[in-house]
């Protein structure tokens, strides 16, 4: 048993991830909204949550999970960050709440398919198994309501091709960690002044030419690989850049992340696909509330 599995097991048998041994009788720290008020979709894809890190935006994800529901849900990798957990154990109550909500969904009848990524690759050894209604798979083929076939995978499979030098991945990792810390400070400041959530790396990525080049290379390589497998499109995560575009006749979808982009990919009941930007949804909700308040005061 490696260190990460051991941490996970220790946690399950008593530590901070205590309640899951008695999941049916446990309750989340942050109470759930009524399930009847949720927007329904045929399918939801989320990835790159990075539970176990300070970067994880668990509060926004909890808000998302409490406002939407679906027949099927894909967890497209890097759900738990084993790399970071191995260095330092970090597991606040909100992270427990995310896991609780995901398991609860499976229990209520959503078909949950978990495709581990590189940060939670320790779970890949359980490929083919089902845990409490969560099916662990290496990849999947999703058929949309209108019959298109989409390959679903995390995306780190292409690192060897997209990253010419392995060490670049680690430099990128350190730089990314720094940027995430900066992002937290910027947004703590913005929250204090009642400003909406702002994504630093979304702006940085759009400015840095190399990052743009890397992202478009990744997108093209993934789409090409999907095309050669004879599917209509591909859904992945990994690079924390939500996207939806046509690449030489192949639909390329990236569901983004819950570190700072806070996005999800959804399929409507007619097969139509949409990227949800949850920070925008929360801002729109707050605005609608304040408009309602002003109208009430004026009446």
User: Element (H or E) spanning 136, and its range?
Assistant: strand 134-136
219 binds Mn ion (CB under 5 A): no
Residue positions counted in the chain:
299
Q: Which x/- pattern, by CB under 5 A, does the window 21-60 give for Mn ion?
A: ----------------------------------------
260 binds Mn ion (CB under 5 A): no
Closer to Mn ion at the Cβ: 26 or 118? 118
Stretch that binds Mn ion, among 34-42, 87-95, 176-184, 238-246 (CB under 5 A): 238-246
What residue has token string 């260190």?
3
Please name every residue paired with 244 in a beta bridge, in sequence order, or none if there are none.
253
Residues 6+ apart with CB under 8 A from 203: none
CB of 153 to Mn ion, least distance (A): 11
Closer to Mn ion at the Cβ: 164 or 297? 164
CB of 118 to Mn ion, least distance (A): 5
**How far is Cα 99 from Cα 193, in angstroms, rounded to an integer?**
31
Stretch that binds Mn ion, among 158-166, 233-241, 257-265, 286-294 (CB under 5 A): 233-241
Closer to Mn ion at the Cβ: 118 or 217? 118
User: Backbone phi, then psi, for 54, in 5-degree steps?
Assistant: -65, -25
238 binds Mn ion (CB under 5 A): yes
Stretch that binds Mn ion, among 104-112, 156-164, 207-215, 273-281 (CB under 5 A): 156-164
CA proximity to 177, closest of 257, 259, 245:
259
78 binds Mn ion (CB under 5 A): yes
Q: What is the DSSP string of 184-232?
A: HHHHHHHHHTTPPP--HHHHHHHH-HHHHHHHHHHHHHHHHHHHHTT-S
SS3 content of the chain, % helix, strand, coil (to 5): 45, 20, 35
118 binds Mn ion (CB under 5 A): yes
User: Is 226:245 a contact under the CB 8 Å cutoff?
Assistant: no
Neighbours of 297 (CB within 10 A): 7
Stretch that binds Mn ion, among 31-39, 152-160, 191-199, 225-233 (CB under 5 A): 152-160
For Mn ion, how many residues bind (rule: CB under 5 A)?
5
CB of 285 to Mn ion, least distance (A): 30
CB of 38 to Mn ion, least distance (A): 28
128: three-class secondary structure by DSSP: coil
**How far is Cα 123 from Cα 84, in angstroms, rounded to an integer?**
15
Closer to Mn ion at the Cβ: 105 or 238? 238
CB of 120 to Mn ion, least distance (A): 9
Which residues contact Mn ion (rule: CB under 5 A)?
A: 78, 117-118, 156, 238
């Amino acid at each position: 048993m490696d260190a990460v599995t051991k941490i996970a097991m220790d946690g399950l048998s008593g530590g901070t991830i205590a309640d899951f041994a008695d999941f049916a009788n446990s309750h989340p720290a942050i109470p759930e909204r009524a399930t009847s008020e949720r927007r329904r979709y045929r399918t939801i894809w989320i990835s790159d949550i990075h539970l176990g890190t300070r970067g994880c935006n668990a509060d926004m994800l909890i808000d998302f999970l409490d406002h939407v529901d679906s027949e099927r849900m894909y967890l497209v990798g890097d759900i738990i960050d084993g790399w970071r957990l191995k260095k330092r154990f970090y597991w606040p109550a909100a992270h427990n709440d995310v896991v609780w909500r995901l398991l609860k969904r499976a229990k209520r009848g959503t078909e949950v398919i978990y495709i581990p990524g590189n940060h939670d690759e320790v779970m890949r050894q359980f490929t083919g198994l089902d845990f409490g209604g969560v099916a662990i798979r290496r990849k999947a083929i999703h058929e949309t309501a209108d019959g298109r076939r989409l390959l679903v995978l995390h995306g780190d499979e292409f690192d060897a091709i997209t990253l010419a030098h392995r060490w670049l991945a680690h430099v990128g990792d350190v730089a990314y960690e720094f940027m995430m810390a900066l992002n937290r400070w910027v947004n703590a400041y913005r929250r204090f002044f009642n400003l909406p959530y702002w994504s630093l790396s979304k702006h940085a990525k759009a400015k840095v030419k190399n990052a743009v080049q890397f992202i478009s290379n990744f997108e093209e390589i993934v789409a090409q690989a999907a095309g050669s497998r004879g599917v209509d499109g591909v859904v992945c995560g990994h690079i924390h850049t939500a996207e939806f575009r046509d690449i030489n006749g192949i639909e390329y979808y990236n569901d983004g992340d819950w570190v700072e982009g806070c996005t999800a990919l959804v399929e409507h009941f007619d097969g139509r696909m949409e990227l949800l930007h949850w920070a925008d949804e929360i801002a729109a909700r707050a605005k609608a509330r304040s408009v309602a308040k002003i109208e009430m005061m004026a009446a």
